[in-house]
Structure 1
Amino acid sequence: MSIGLNPYLVFNGNTREALYFYEKALRGNVVGIMTFGDLPEDPNHPLTDEMKTLVMHAHLKVGDADLMFSDTFPGTAHKADGDTVQIAIHPTEESIAREIFAALEDGGQVVMPLQKTDWSPLYGIVKDKFGVTFQVNVAEEQPQG
């Protein structure tokens, strides 16, 4: 049996901004965007023109990983504290880790600056401007045997 898992990030009307921010910061590629307006109209639940432009589903490919995105459905409560789930990023090069961390830090808040730890030559935690918390971790080189 094979099971795939991926983060699904939900925003409150600014998914498109977040998607393109992460595309650049994480060196990803947008695979697709579907808006609520792309769905067949439902006379029982009419959408305003503004609601039709909101993102129902978006897909960002980052390396071998998939990030999914959506705006909350209009009228649905949205709470984003960014602390319950964190996204771990594992670049293999320190220079790439520094670039990603700096991009995520722009408009955000450093929780733990990038630094050497017992498990990593470079590790840090940053909460970005959308309230999503990322751990950036360069793996310790394994001895060749």
Structure 2
Amino acid sequence: MTVTTTPHLNFRGDARAALEKYHDVFGGRLVVVTNADASSVETPSEAQQVKYGQVVVENGFQIMAYDVPASVPYDQGEKSLFVSVRGDSADEISELWGRLAEGSTVLADLGPSAFSPLYGMVEDAFGVVWVLDVAVAYDAA
């Protein structure tokens, strides 16, 4: 049996735009199912909002998102989560950083840190905080 953990991001009307941005950054396959597609329209103005969406990349990257209906209380909060993207190549992380940082607010410049040869943090236009770094082996002492 295999278990996969996938971040699932909640939005209020921005899920499609966020998923399209992440698809542009990471590539892979984009799936978007609207409330209309799923025959679950509660409010006509929300018919084209995302009921289920995901980006899945062959290298293992996955992210899911949907639009929280107006009938459900929602508060994204501050620093409610970080999405961590780890790679084993500085070139790969640098390339992803360049695409993800476009249109985002840089919270920590991409560069060496005490725990990684390359680390950076951005908050994208959708309020999601992304941490990118090069993975290193740790001694579990």
Scaled by the length of structure 2, the TM-score of the pair is 0.83
Q: Which residue identity does 2:47 align to in structure 1?
A: K
Task: Find the partner of 2:130 among 118, 127, 134.
Answer: 134
Residues 73-84 of structure 1 aligned to structure 2 (within 5 Å): 73-81=69-77, 83-84=79-80
Instruction: Pick one of 40, 43, 48 that aligns with 1:53.
Output: 48
**Distance (Å, rounded) in 2 between the aligned partners of 1:82 and 1:64:** 28
Structure 2 partner of 1:27:
27
Identity of aligned residues (%): 24
Q: Answer whether contact 1:35 1:52 (CA < 8 A) is retained.
A: yes
Mark the runs of 5 or more structure 2 residues left unpaired by the alignment: none
3-state SS, counterpart of residue 117 of structure 1: coil
Q: How does 1:26-105 map to 2 (within 5 A)?
A: 26-30=26-30, 32-40=31-39, 46-48=42-44, 50-62=45-57, 63-81=59-77, 83-105=79-101
CA distances 1:96-131 after superposition (whole Å, capped 9, x unpaired): 212212222222211111111232111111111111
Q: Is the 8 A contact 1:60 1:67 kept in 2?
A: yes
Task: Answer yes or no: is the 8 Å Cα contact 1:115–1:123 preserved in 2.
Answer: yes
Count matched residues. 137
**Under a length normalisation based on structure 1, what TM-score does the superposition of the two structures give?**
0.81
In the alignment, what sits opposite 2:103?
A: 107
**Taking structure 1 as reference, are residues 25 and 46 closer, same or farther at Cα in structure 2, changes over 3 Å only?**
closer
Instruction: Please say which structure displays the higher CA radius of gyration.
Output: 1
Q: Does the Cα contact within 8 Å between 1:125 and 1:135 map onto a contact in 2? A: yes
Q: Give 1:27 shift.
A: 2.7
Q: Name the amino acid aligned to 2:33.
A: M
CA RMSD across the alignment:
2.3
Whole-Å Cα distance in 2 between the matches of residues 15 and 71 of structure 1?
Answer: 6
